[in-house]
Structure 1
Amino acid sequence: MLENIEFANPQFFWLLLLLPLALAWYLFTRKKQLATLTLHSVSGFKRRSSFLSRMKPLLFVLRLLAIAALITAMARPQTKDVSTRTKSTKGIDIVMAIDVSSSMLAKDLKPNRLTALKEVAAEFIKDRVSDRIGLVVYSGESFTKTPITSDKSIVLSSLDEIRYGQLEDGTAIGMGLATSVNRLKESKAKSKVIILLTDGVNNSGFIEPATAAELAVEFGIKTYTIAIGTNGKAETPVAYNLDGSFRYAFREVEIDEDLLKSIAESTGGRYFRATDNETLSEIYEEINKLEKTEVEEIRYTNFEERFRPLALLAGGLIFMEILLRFTLFRSFV
Structure 2
Amino acid sequence: MNFLWPGNLLLVLVVPALIAAYVWAQRRRQKYALRYASLSLVREALGKGPGRKRHIPPALFLAALFFMALGTARPETVVVVPVQEGTVILALDVSGSMLAEDLRPNRMEAAKDAAKAFVIRQGADVKLGVVAFSGDAQVVQSPTKDKDLVIAAINRLRPQRATAIGRGILASLDAIFEDSEETPPSVIALRRLSGDPTGPTPPPIAKGSDRTATIVLLSDGQNNQFPAPQQVIEDAASRGIRVYTVGVGSADGTVVRIQGRSVRTRLDEATLKQIAEQTDGQYYNASNEHDLRAVYENLSTQLVFRQQHTEVTAILTAIAALLSIVAGALSLLWFNRIP
Give the TM-score range, shorter chain.
0.5 to 0.7
Report the residue type matching 1:163 in the other structure: R
2:148 pairs with 1:153: yes
CA displacement, residues 235-287 of structure 1 (integer Å, 9 cap, x when unaligned):
233xxxxxxxx441152x31111111110000000011110011111111111
Deviation at 1:89, TM superposition (A): 5.9
Residue 113, structure 1, aligned to residue 126, structure 2: no
CA distance in 2 between counterparts of 1:180 and 1:259 reads 17
1:13 equivalent in structure 2? none
| CA–CA distance in structure 2, aligned partners of residues 279 and 114 of structure 1 | 14
Between structures 1 and 2, the one with greater strand share: 1
Label 1:156 to 1:256 Cα distance change in 2 as closer, same or farther (>3 A).
Answer: same
CA distance in 2, matches of 1:285, 1:184: 22
Residue 177 of structure 2 corresponds to which residue in structure 1? Answer: 185
Check conservation: 2:214, 2:242, Cα contact below 8 A.
Answer: yes
User: SS at 2:91's partner residue?
Assistant: strand
The reply to whether residue 170 of structure 1 matches residue 162 of structure 2 is yes
Change (3 A) 1:135 1:232: same
1:50-106 deviation digits (Å, cap 9, x = unpaired): xxxxxxxxxxxxxxxxxxxxxxxxxxxxxxxxxxxxx98662210011000000000
AA partner of residue 216 (structure 2): I
Q: How does 1:51-90 map to 2 (within 5 A)?
A: none
Instruction: Give the Cα separation in 2 of the matches to 1:88 and 1:196.
Output: 23
Aligned 1:187-202 pairs, distance under 5 A: 190-202=211-223
The partner residue of 2:230 within 197, 203, 210 is 210
Task: Please point out which of 101, 121, 124 is paired with 1:127.
Answer: 121
Paired with 2:272 and 2:82, the residues of 1 have a C-alpha distance of 31
* 1:281 alignment partner in structure 2: 293
1:92 maps onto 2:92 in alignment? no
Note if contact 1:113-1:229 (Cα within 8 Å) is conserved in structure 2.
no
Aligned to 2:329: none
CA drift of 1:122 comes to: 0.5
Give 5+ residue unaligned stretches, structure 2: 1-80, 181-209, 315-339
C-alpha distance in structure 1 between counterparts of 2:126 and 2:90, whole Å = 13
Residues in 1 aligned to 2:274 and 2:82: alpha-carbon distance in whole angstroms: 32
Q: CA deviation at 1:298?
A: 11
Gap change, CA 1:198 and 1:89, over 3 Å in 2: closer
Amino acid across the alignment from 1:199: D
1:171-320 to structure 2, matched below 5 A, reads 171-185=163-177, 190-204=211-225, 206-230=226-250, 232-237=253-258, 246-251=259-264, 253-293=265-305
2:262 is matched by which residue type in structure 1?
A
- 1:141–1:176 contact (8 Å) kept in structure 2: yes
Q: Could you say what secondary structure the match of 2:272 adopts?
A: helix
Q: Which residue of 1 aligns with 2:53?
A: none
Letter in 2 for 1:148: P
Larger radius of gyration: 1
Separation (CA, whole Å) in 2 of partners of 1:140 and 1:192: 25
8 A contact 2:83–2:304 mirrored in 1: no
* In 1: Cα distance, 2:285 partner to 2:83 partner: 32
How big is the shift at 1:115? 0.2
How far off its partner does 1:186 sit?
5.3
Shift of 1:202: 0.7
Instruction: Describe the shift of the 1:286–1:187 C-alpha distance in structure 2 as closer, same or farther (beyond 3 A).
Output: farther
In structure 1, the residue matched to 2:206 is none
Quote the residue 2:132 is aligned against.
Answer: 137
Point out where structure 1 has 5 or more consecutive residues left out of the alignment: 1-86, 238-245, 301-333
How far apart, in 2, do the equivalents of 1:285 and 1:131 lie?
Answer: 16
* Residue identity matched to 1:139: S
